[in-house]
A and B are shown apart, each in its own frame.
Chain A
Amino acid sequence: MIEVILFLVLGILLGYFVRKKQRFLSISNRLVSISIYALLFLLGVALGTNSDLLRQLPKLGGYAFVLAVLSILGSIVLAAFLYRKMFKKTEEKHEE
């Protein structure tokens, strides 16, 4: 996966140097959407041609649902803590 990191870093460097070139950036932005569509299409193809994976889909969906719920719960519990400790007071002050 070293290639992925390499391409990411190269992209960031190039992006920094061309940051004023709006046309170039809007083209690159559109290409991002296109490659996301293409890659997710290919992931769909990989799933569709793999009958074993397809059979497991309800189970995978169940895993995904539980993981999503746990992600949300973990983050909102900590967020509630942070809000109470550092945000609520200033907000009440503003309202007074």
Chain B
Amino acid sequence: MKSSLLIFSFFLLGIVMAQQGWLPDFLLENDFSSYALYALVFLVGIGTGADIKQSFMLIKTMHVRILLVPFTTVIGTLLGVSIFTLIAPSFSLQDSLAVASGLGYYSLSSLYITEVKGETLGVIALLANLIRELLSLVFTPAMAKYFGKLAPIASAGATSMDTTLPVITKAVGKQYAMLSIFHGTILSILVPFLVMFILSF
């Protein structure tokens, strides 16, 4: 949660500094964002690659039904946002799916989306995934009560491994901690691929 606030404050700082005209011209004239994005995905890749053996081992030790949880979250999320096209017809299905495929991992997903689809959708993706994390934090006890013990984990999406983990285990019990971490790990690995896959159409 602390790091989420820190990340978000960098975004706000950028808005304020640009508004006040406190930025040097070279920053405004050049677009560094694609290079920074390449660097970021490369570095994220290193982290994924380093853990990949452990991730597979974790999958092997898990019962088949545990594997269904991250899968269910992805399908449920994508089905849920599909409704948005009916509410706001000007918003394409692809855009809705792309925003949702951030699965709460707002930093990475919004940056990809900005690069491919432009700043408008990037900002929506950033806010939507941030709001997902915040709502998950606040409503975890209610979700556990009315939708069962997997609901808070599903709602948290990729954040179920770190920022929302303490709240989740408090609401559904420590025996779900491993599942929650596993769920978040799988989704975090999946996010870049899912966003790119959806935007490739």
Chain A residues within 8 Å of B, Cβ to Cβ: 1, 3-5, 7-19, 25, 28-29, 31-33, 35-50, 53-54, 56-57, 60-61, 63-84, 86-88, 91
On whether the beta carbons of B155 and A72 are closer than 8 Å, the reply is yes
On whether the beta carbons of B52 and A43 are closer than 8 Å, the reply is no
In B74-119, the 8 Å CB interface with A consists of 75-81, 83-84, 87-88, 91, 96, 99-100, 103, 107-108, 110-112, 114-116, 119
Give the distance in Å from the alpha carbon of A77 to the alpha carbon of B132 in the complex: 15
On whether the beta carbons of B77 and A74 are closer than 8 Å, the reply is yes
Q: Can you name 29 A-B residue pairings with CB atoms under 8 Å?
A: A3-B34, A4-B196, A5-B196, A7-B38, A11-B44, A12-B49, A13-B49, A15-B47, A16-B53, A28-B47, A41-B10, A41-B11, A41-B13, A42-B33, A45-B18, A48-B17, A61-B127, A63-B124, A65-B127, A66-B84, A67-B128, A70-B83, A72-B132, A72-B135, A79-B72, A79-B76, A81-B72, A83-B149, A87-B149
On whether the beta carbons of A67 and B49 are closer than 8 Å, the reply is no
- Secondary structure at chain A's binding surface: helix, strand, loop or mixed? helix
On whether the beta carbons of B77 and A35 are closer than 8 Å, the reply is no
On whether the beta carbons of A87 and B80 are closer than 8 Å, the reply is no
Interface string of B143-164 (1 = CB under 8 A from A): 1000111110111010000000
